[in-house]
A and B are shown apart, each in its own frame.
Chain A
Amino acid sequence: MEEAIYKKFPEEKVEEIESLFTEIGKEFKGKAEELIPMLQRVQKRLGYLPEQALLAIARMTGLPAAKIYGTATFYAQFRFQPVGKYIIRVCRGTACHVKGSDRLLNTIEEYLQVSPGQMTSDGLFTIETVACFGSCALAPVLVINDSVYGSLNRSKALKLLDEIRERERSSSRHSTQGN
C-alpha cells in the first residue's frame, strides 16, 4: 500500500482546527448536504484538508469518514497537502507544450526540488500543472497566484522565483526588525 495521500495537521497546531470547528458548528447544521460547503470552509482557512478536519466533519455530519474522503477526492478543488504561499501553475496545454513548457516545468521542479502537487520545505511555493489557461498567445505561460506571466523561458522563470524569494526575505526581515 502506498502512503495515504493526505497529510495530518501538525499536532502542535491542532487547537486551530478545534477553534475552526467551533465556528463551523455555529455556521452549519451538520446535514449531509452541507458537506461540500464545509469542506470549502475548512480549506479556505487551513489551505488544505488535513486528516483531523475530515474526521471532525464525519463526526459532525454522521457520515462515514470514507464517504467524506471519497467526496473530497472527487473534486479537483480540494487539496490534502498544505500549499505554499505562492502557487505556481504551469500550463501544459498544446501551445505551451510546443513552446517548451515541459522543459520549463522540469527546470522549476529541479530548482525548487519538488514535484507538482508538493510544497517547498520553506512553505513558499507549490507547483501545479494545468491543462490550458486559454492564454495561448502568451505561450508558454505560468500563473503565480492570480498573476499571469507570459512568453517565458527558463531563465526568466527562475528570475521570477528569485524575485519572489527576495521580496519575502526582505519583508520578513523587515517585520522582525519592526518587532
Chain B
Amino acid sequence: MKKIQLTINGHPVTVHEGATVLNAIEKAGFYVPTLCYDPALKPFGACRLCIVQIEDMRGLPTSCTTPVQEGMKVHTETEEIQRVRRMIVELMIVNHPYECLLCNRSQDCELLKVARYVGVDQRSIERLRRTTRKRAPDHSNPAFDFEPDKCILCGKCVRRCDEMVGVGAIDFCHRGDDTVIRPFGEKPILQSVCQSCGECVEHCPTGALLPKNLFIPEREIKTICPYCGVGCSIHLGIRAGKVVRVKGDETSPVNRGELCVKGRYGLDFVNHPDRLTRPLIRKEGFPKSVTVNEIHQVFQEVSWNEALDRVARGLARLKDRYGPNAIGFLSSAKCTNEENYLFQKFARAALGTNNVDHCARLCHASTVAAALAAFGDGAMSNSISDIDHADTLLVIGSNTTECHPIIGRRIKRAVKNHGARLIVADPRRIELCDLAEVHLDHLPGTDVALLNGMMHQIVKENLHDEKFISERCEEFEPFLESLNRYDLKTVEAITGVPGEKIRQGALLFGKAKRAIVLYGMGITQHTTGTDNVKTIANLLMLTGNLGRQGTGFSPLRGQNNVQGACDMGALPVVYPGYQRVDNPEVREKFEKAWGRPLSTQPGLTITEMFQAAYDEKLKGLYVMGENPMLSEPDLNHAREALAKLDFLVVQDIFFTETAHLADVILPAASFAEKEGTFTSTERRIQRVRKALDPPGAARPDWEIVVELSNRLGYPMNYRSSEEIMSEIARLTPIYGGIRYDRLNRAGLQCPCPDAKHPGTPILHKGQFTRGRGRFHVVHDRPPAELPTSAYPLLLTTGRILQHWHTGSMSHRSHVLETLVPESHVEINPVDANRLGIMEGDEIFLSSRRGSVQTKVKKTHRVRPGQAFMAFHWREAPANRLTNPALDPQAKIPEFKVSSIHAILAVLEQAAEDNRFLTALAENPAGVLSTYDLTPEHRRALMEGDIASIEQWVGPLEDRLKIWLKTRLKQEKLSERQVLQA
C-alpha cells in the first residue's frame, strides 16, 4: 500500500494511503477530542469536535472524515479551532442536565472529559441554556435504561447496532431540535428487535444509555465467557465478592471487545442464592420416585469428609461387587481441560473403566467420528477470523446469530461489508436468511440428499477442483459414481426445495474461490449425523476448500469447553489427544504414566450408559457438571434409568434436575472461582482465571476428584491446575507446547506440539492430518420418525439467544430470565389456524414418548407442518418429546426430528372425557355430517348455540367457547360445501 507523508503541528508522520487525518494525528501522538469517532465504525463526522486546520484548505474540516494527502500540513490547536471547539461543546451541553454527581456514568463520561479538556465558559452556557427538556426515558429493558435528555446524537449506538451487530434496532427519528434516537415506531426498546447485547450501552459517550444497577467494580479479572464455544475473552468486574460488570476484552482476536446478551448480562448466576454451598446426602427413606419440592426435605447437609467417604465407599462397593464397568462417568464440557483430564484419569486409572463420556455425545459426536474418518482431525479446520476472508459462506443447520452470536455477527459483516455471498440451508427462516442470496429450506433430515444434489450439480458444471482431489484425496471414484442418483428432480422430491434453487446454491458454492461451510446441531443431531458430516467433508474436498485461509470445515461447538473435553479424552474410546484405547502402544504409554493397568475394553457412550442403567447393567453414575435430566432425549425413559441406579453422584454448582435423583451431591466451583483453561471452537486454548472464592464450602471440581482418588487408593498429588496442565502436555502431543505463561495474551490454537510452536490457526495445510483426505460414499436415509396422521407435526428442537442449554445458569440470571421468562413453541400460522390456536395460547404437545404444555408463538420462521421448541425449560422440557433413536456410528440421538401432535391445552383437558369434543378436535371440518346426532343437537351445533351445548357437555371455559365457535363455523362452511356438491 502506498505511504503518505504529512505533518501534524510541524511533526512529520507517515501513514498508509486511505487513512484519515485523525489516524495521522493519533499516530503522531497528538490528541484531538472526539465524541462520535469509533475506530470500528465508518467515519461519521457528527460531533464536529475533531476539526483541524489544513493549510491551503478552506474552513475547518473534521479530521475523522478527511483522507490524508501527500504533504498536508495539519494544525490541531490554533486559536480559532479552540474557540470553535469550545462553542461546539457549549452548544452540546447547553441543554444537558448538570447532575454529573448523580449520574452513574460520569466516571467514564467522554462528554465530561471533553468539556473539561476544551474548557467551557459557564456564562455563555447560562445565556443559551433553556430549561432542560423532559423527554420520556425508556426503562423497559431489564439490562439498561435510555435517557434521551443526556443524548448528544453522536450516533455511536445507532451505528454499532447497525454496522457491527447487524440488527439496526434504533435510529435517528424526526429532525432538527426534535431529533431523538428511538426504535421503530418510538415504542419501548423491549418491544423492538433489540437483542439486548448492550453494545450501544458500552459505547455511549455519555450517560444517555446506562446499565441498570451500575456498580463500579473494585477489580477486574481477565477470563473466558462460560456460555458458548466461541470463547469470548471478558473482563469480569468484581466488587465485594460479586460479579457486578462484564466487559468484552478489546485485545482478544476472538471477540475484539464485543459480547452478546448472555456474556454481558448473564453471568450473575455466579452469585445466585441457589448456589450449592455444602455437600448433601439423600436422607434415609426418600426413594427417588418422590418429586423433590424442597431440597432440605430430602437432602441433608454433611461435611466434606462424610460426603467424600460416602462417594468413595459407594464407588468401591460397586466396583467390588459388579466390576469397574458397572460404573459410568459423565464429564463436563463446562469444566476446564485440567478437570476433564483428571476426571477421565480418575475413571480409567483409579476405577479401571473406559466408561467416560460427556455431552459432546449429544452435540458433535457425529462431527468427531466423521471428520476423523475424512480428515484425521475432528475439530474446526480454520479460525473464526477466516470468515472475514471467505468469498462464499454456506451456513447449514446452524442458527448462528442466536447460538453463536459473535460468530453470527462476523457472518453478517462478511456479507454486508466484505461482499461475501451467503447460502443458508435451514428448515427455518432464521435471521441469517435475510442476508442470504439463497435460502434452501429443506425438510429436516434431508441434508445428505440436499448436499449430494448440490455436489452433483457442481460436478456436472465441472466446478470441482480436480487438482486438489488428485493430489490430496483418495477414494474419489466410488464417491463420484454415488452422486449419479442425485439429479435435481430426485433431490427436489426428497428435500422439498425447488431444483432451481439447489442449482443456484450449488453454482454459487462451486464457483467460490474461498468458501467455508459452517454448521451446527442441525447437521449432527440426526440418526444420519455422521453421514451428514461426511457429506460436508466431501463437499469441501470436492471444491478444494480446505487448508487455506478463508476456507474450511467449521463445526460450531456448543459449549465453552466441549472441544477441550474431547481433546482431554473424556470420551469412551480415546485417551487425551484422541489416542485410541484399543491401541496397545498407546495404552502402554498411559499405563506407564499413570502407574496402573488400564482397561482394554472401549467404554460406553452417554446414550448407551442410560440404556445400560435402564437394563440395570450399569449400577453407578458419577455426573460432573452435566444435566442429562433435561438434555437427554426421551426424558421419561432417562428418568426411569437414573432412578434405577444404585448410586448416583452429582457434582454441580446448582441443584439441577439430575441432582434431584442423586444419592450424594457435591458442590462445585463455577468458572469464576477457579484456574484452568478452556478450548474454544476454533481450538484456541485460553486461560480461565480465578476471580472469586467459591461460595460456602464449594470446591473446584479438580480438587474434589483429587480427594476422591486419594480415598480410593490411587493418590493424586497436584497443587494447582497448572501442574495438571504440565502432565497433560507431557502425555498429549497436540497439547505438547501448552504452558500457562504462553497463554496469557490470546491463548494458543492446538495442535501445539512443542514449547516453541506458535499454534495452528489452519489445519490440513499441504496435507491432511491423516495423510490423504478420504471421500466417503454417503446415501440418503430417512429420519427414524416421520409425521403420521396421529402425530402430524415435525418438531425440531434447539436453543434461543437468551437462554443456555438446560438453563441451570441462564434461568438464574436476572436479565436473561426477565427477557424470556417462559418457554414457547414456534408454529406456522397455517397450522395454528387449522388447530384454532391463537398467539399466546397454552398448547399441549405430545409425541409417542411424552408430553409437554407450553405457549404458542405464531411465526413464519417455521414452515407449515413443522414446529420448533427450545429445550431450556424444566417446566416444559422439549426432550420429553424427542426421539432417542441413535446414529449407529456416533451414538448421537435424533434431537432434530420427532413427530408430535398439538392441541389447545384447555381442549385437551375437556376432550379427555368427551368423545364429541375429541371428534371435533381430531378431525377436519365436516365431521358433523357423519356424526350421529339428534335434530336438536344438530341445530344447536350448526347455530353455534353455546348455551345449549353447555347443557349437554357441562360448563365450558371461555377460551374453549371461542374455539368451539370458530370450529363450528368451519363445520357450517363445509356443510354448505357438501350441500352445494
Chain A interface residues (CB < 8 Å from chain B): 1-2, 4-6, 51, 54, 62-70, 73-74
Q: Is the interface of A mostly helix, strand, loop or mixed?
A: helix
Contact A54 B138 (CB under 8 A): no
Contact A66 B187 (CB under 8 A): no
Q: Is the interface of B mostly helix, strand, loop or mixed?
A: mixed
Least distance between B752 CB and chain A CB atoms (Å): 42
Task: Please give, as numbers and ranges, the residues of chain A lying within 8 Å of B193 by CB-CB distance.
Answer: 64-66
Contact B184 A66 (CB under 8 A): yes
Q: How far is B183's CA from A2's CA once the two chains are assembled, in angstroms?
A: 13
Least distance between B70 CB and chain A CB atoms (Å): 34
Kindly identify, within residues 542 to 583 of chain B, every residue whose CB is under 8 Å from any CB belonging to chain A. Answer: none
6 contacts between A and B (CB under 8 A): A1-B187, A5-B185, A64-B184, A70-B171, A70-B173, A74-B173
Residue among A1, A4, A62, A65 with most chain B CB within 10 A:
A1
Which residue of B is nearest A75, CB measured?
Answer: B175
Least distance between B430 CB and chain A CB atoms (Å): 15
Interface digits, B156-186 against A, CB 8 Å rule (1 contact, 0 not)?
Answer: 0000001000011111111100000011111
User: 9 closest A-B pairs (Cβ-Cβ)?
Assistant: A64-B168, A70-B171, A65-B184, A4-B185, A66-B171, A66-B184, A73-B173, A74-B175, A73-B174
Which residue of A is nearest B179, CB measured?
Answer: A74
Contact A54 B173 (CB under 8 A): no
Contact B162 A64 (CB under 8 A): yes
Given contacts A64-B168, A65-B193, A66-B168, A2 and B173 within 8 Å (CB-CB): no
Which residue of B is nearest A72, CB measured?
Answer: B173
Interface digits, B252-286 against A, CB 8 Å rule (1 contact, 0 not)?
Answer: 00000000000000000000000000000000000
Q: How far is B158's CA from A69's CA once the two chains are assembled, in angstroms?
A: 13
Task: Please give, as numbers and ranges, the residues of chain A lying within 8 Å of B979 by CB-CB distance.
Answer: none
Does B188 touch A at the CB level, under 8 Å? yes
Least distance between B221 CB and chain A CB atoms (Å): 36
Task: Please give, as numbers and ranges, the residues of chain A lying within 8 Å of B929 by CB-CB distance.
Answer: none
Chain B interface residues (CB < 8 Å from chain A): 136, 138, 140, 162, 167-175, 182-188, 192-193, 434-435
Least distance between A124 CB and chain B CB atoms (Å): 27
Task: Please give, as numbers and ranges, the residues of chain B lying within 8 Å of A5 by CB-CB distance.
Answer: 185-186
Contact B185 A51 (CB under 8 A): yes
Q: How far is B171's CA from A70's CA once the two chains are assembled, in angstroms?
A: 6
> Which of B138, B169, B186 contacts A64 (CB under 8 A)?
B169
Contact B173 A64 (CB under 8 A): no
Least distance between B417 CB and chain A CB atoms (Å): 15
Task: Please give, as numbers and ranges, the residues of chain B lying within 8 Å of A2 by CB-CB distance.
Answer: 136, 186
Q: How far is B416's CA from A63's CA once the two chains are assembled, in angstroms?
A: 12
Task: Please give, as numbers and ranges, the residues of chain B lying within 8 Å of A54 by CB-CB distance.
Answer: 184-185
Q: How far is B182's CA from A69's CA once the two chains are assembled, in angstroms?
A: 9
Q: How far is B136's CA from A54's CA once the two chains are assembled, in angstroms?
A: 24
Task: Please give, as numbers and ranges, the residues of chain B lying within 8 Å of A68 by CB-CB distance.
Answer: 184
Which residue of B is nearest A55, CB measured?
Answer: B184
Task: Please give, as numbers and ranges, the residues of chain A lying within 8 Å of B138 by CB-CB distance.
Answer: 1
Given contacts A69-B185, A73-B173, A74-B175, A64 and B434 within 8 Å (CB-CB): no
Given contacts A1-B140, A54-B184, A67 and B168 within 8 Å (CB-CB): yes
Contact B170 A66 (CB under 8 A): yes
Q: How far is B394's CA from A24's CA once the two chains are assembled, in angstroms?
A: 32
Task: Please give, as numbers and ranges, the residues of chain B lying within 8 Å of A66 by CB-CB distance.
Answer: 168-171, 182-184, 192-193
Task: Please give, as numbers and ranges, the residues of chain B lying within 8 Å of A1 by CB-CB distance.
Answer: 136, 138, 140, 186-188
Task: Please give, as numbers and ranges, the residues of chain B lying within 8 Å of A63 by CB-CB distance.
Answer: 168
Task: Please give, as numbers and ranges, the residues of chain B lying within 8 Å of A51 by CB-CB distance.
Answer: 185
Extra contacts, 10 of them, besides A1-B138, A69-B182 (Cβ < 8 A), are A1-B136, A51-B185, A62-B434, A64-B162, A64-B184, A66-B170, A66-B171, A66-B192, A66-B193, A70-B172
Least distance between B833 CB and chain A CB atoms (Å): 15
Task: Please give, as numbers and ranges, the residues of chain B lying within 8 Å of A4 by CB-CB distance.
Answer: 185-187
Least distance between A163 CB and chain B CB atoms (Å): 36
Which residue of A is nearest B168, CB measured?
Answer: A64
Q: How far is B184's CA from A2's CA once the two chains are assembled, in angstroms?
A: 13
